[in-house]
Amino acid sequence: MRILLCHNRYVMRTGEDMAFDSLRILLERAGHQLLFYTRDNQSISSFDFSDKFLLPGRALYSSKNRKDISAFVNREKPAVAIVQNVFPLLSPSIYYGLAESNIPVIQLVFNYRMLCANGQLYTNGKICERCVGGNYLHGFLRRCYRESYMLSGVYSASLAVHRMADTWRKCVRFFVVPDKFLGNKLVEGNLPADRMRTIANPFDIDSCRAAPQPGDYALFVGLLSRQKGIFTLLDAIMRCDGIRLIIVGDGPERENVRCHPAVVAGHAELKGRVYGEKLNELMAGCAFVVVPSEWYDNLPMVVCQAFATAKPVIASRINGIPEYVGHEHNGLLFPPGDSQELARAMQRLFLDASLQALLGGRARQTAEELFHPKRWMRQMDGVLEEAIRTQPDLVRGER
C-alpha cells in the first residue's frame, strides 16, 4: 500500500517523535511504500524575520501548504494518509488539501492538541478542562502555551476556527488513540465516537532486550516538567532509604531539577538526554521505571520500553495509564502527586527482589501481548483498509 505520512517534528525529541519513527519502521517492514510530507521545528531558528513574522498565521491556516500537499498527493497518488502533529509549520490546512484530493486521513492522536492550546489539558500546575467545551478564550487568558499571550492566542484562535469549521470531523476518517481515556476526551470535545480506534503505540519490542534480573536503581525517563511529576518523584526519593534514582531527559525544569536537594545530596543523578543503546543499558540495569505523571498522560513510550525490557513500572493512577499498568500485576500504582505513597511503593518494590521478578515477567508478557509489531500492524492495516473502503461515504457527505 502507498501511504503518505505527515508530521511536524518538535524542537526537542519527544515520545511522539519516537512514535513517528517507530511507525515508519513498522510500516516499511510490513512492505508498505511510504511517502513523507514533514516539517521540523528546529528549522524555525533559521527562518528570516519575514518568515517568523508570518509563522503565527501559518499555525492557523496556510494556503501554500494546502496547495502544496494537494499537488504532492495528485502527483504521488498515495492510497491513504496518516497524519500526526500539524502544528505549527504544517497547519490544519493540510487536511483540506488531502480532502480535495479524496485521500482518506487517519489521525494519530497522542495528546489533546485538538482540544487544548498546549495539548495537555494542564495549566498553572493543575489539570484543566476549561476549553474542552469549545470556549478557547480560557487558553488565551491563562497563557496556556509557553506562558505567552501571543502564542496562546494563536493556538486558541486556531482551535476555535477549526472547531467552528468542523475541520477534523469533515476531513478525518478515523482517529487512532493509544487508550480509551484519550478517545473519550476527544468525544467530549465534539469529535465523533464512531470514528475512534484504539491501538497501542507503534513500538518494536525487539528493540529492547529483556533483562529480568533485579536492578540496583530506580529510573525516570521523560520531559523534565512539572506535569511529568518529576518533583513529586524527587521528593519521594528523599523519603526512601538506600534507593538511587537516575533521571534521563531534559526540559524546561532542568535547572530546578539540578538544584533540587535530592540531586545535590546525591540521591538522584541527572543524566540529561540519552537515546539508543545507552538508554537500553540504563533500562536493563534498573530495578523499575517510575512514571509519576500528573497530567492526562497517554501510554508514555517509556512504559512500552520498560515492559519490553521486563521491568515493572510504578506509575500514577491517572487517565489511560492504568489501562496498561495493572496494580500488582506488572507494576504498582499510586495517587498522582502523592510523594509519600510513591516512596512507599518504591521502597516496597526495591526491597523485594521476588516481587520485582514476578512483576517484571508479567511486564514482558504484557509487551509481547499488547505491543508486538505483528499485533500493531494487523490492527493498523485493518484501520487503513476500512478508511479506504469507506472514504467515498465521507466525501458524499454521509458524516
Give the distance from CA 322 to its chain's centroid: 16
Residues 241 and 352 placed together within one structural domain of the fold:
yes
For position 88, what pLDDT does the model report?
A: 81
Full DSSP string of 126-155: EE--TTTTS-THHHHHTTTTTT-HHHHHHH
**Which H or E run contains 58?**
helix 49-60
Contacts 24+ apart (CB under 8 A), 186-189: 186/109, 186/112, 186/114, 186/115, 188/132, 189/112, 189/114, 189/115, 189/132, 189/133, 189/134
Structural domain contains residue 137: no
Residues 178 and 277 in one domain: no
Nearest one of 303, 300, 301, 306 to 283, comparing CA atoms: 306
User: Is there a single domain that holds both residue 33 and residue 180?
Assistant: yes
148 occurs within a structural domain = no
Residues 100, 230, single domain; the answer is: no
Establish if 317 belongs to a structural domain: yes
DSSP 327: B
Does residue 296 sit in the same domain as residue 236?
yes
Question: Would you say residue 115 lies in a domain?
Answer: no
Which residues are CB-neighbours of 332 under 8 A, at least 6 positions away?
A: 312, 313, 314, 315, 345, 348, 349, 359
- The reply to whether 225 and 263 lie within a common domain is yes
Taking Cα atoms as reference points, which of 164, 212, 224, 211 lies closest to residue 190?
A: 164
Residue 141: inside a domain, yes or no? Answer: no
Strands 33-40 and 2-9: parallel
Regions of the chain with pLDDT less than 70: 43-59, 392-399
- Check residue 396 and give its pLDDT: 39
pLDDT digits (tens, 9 = 90+) for 8-52: 998 777 888 999 999 999 999 999 999 999 988 776 554 443 444
- 173 and 251 belong to one structural domain: no
Residue 124 lies in a domain: no
**Residues 56, 197 within the same domain:** yes
> Per the structure block, which three cell numbers stand in for 202?
507503534
Q: Examine the domain organization and report whether 197 and 249 are in the same domain.
A: no
Please give the distance of CA 140 from its chain centroid, rounded to a whole number. Answer: 23
Q: Note whether 192 and 295 are same-domain residues.
A: no
pLDDT of residue 15: 81
Q: Is residue 114 part of a domain?
A: no
Answer yes or no: do 214 and 321 share one domain.
Answer: yes
pLDDT digits (tens, 9 = 90+) for 136-155: 999 999 999 888 898 899 88
* Rounded CA separation 303/334 (Å): 15
Angstrom distances, CA of residue 17 to CA of 11, 45, 243, 284, 319: 10, 19, 31, 23, 22
Number of domains in the chain: 2
Q: How far apart are CA 105 and CA 99, in angstroms?
A: 8
CATH number for 61: 3.40.50.2000
pTM of the model: 0.91
Classify residue 122: in a domain, yes or no. Answer: no
Range of the domain at 356: 205-370
Compute φ and ψ for 132, nearest 5 degrees.
Answer: -60, -35
Model pLDDT, residue 285: 96
| pLDDT at residue 87, as a whole number | 86
Query: 246 with 236: CB under 8 angstroms?
Result: no
Question: 289 and 256 in one domain?
Answer: yes
Q: Are 300 and 313 in contact (CB under 8 A)?
A: no
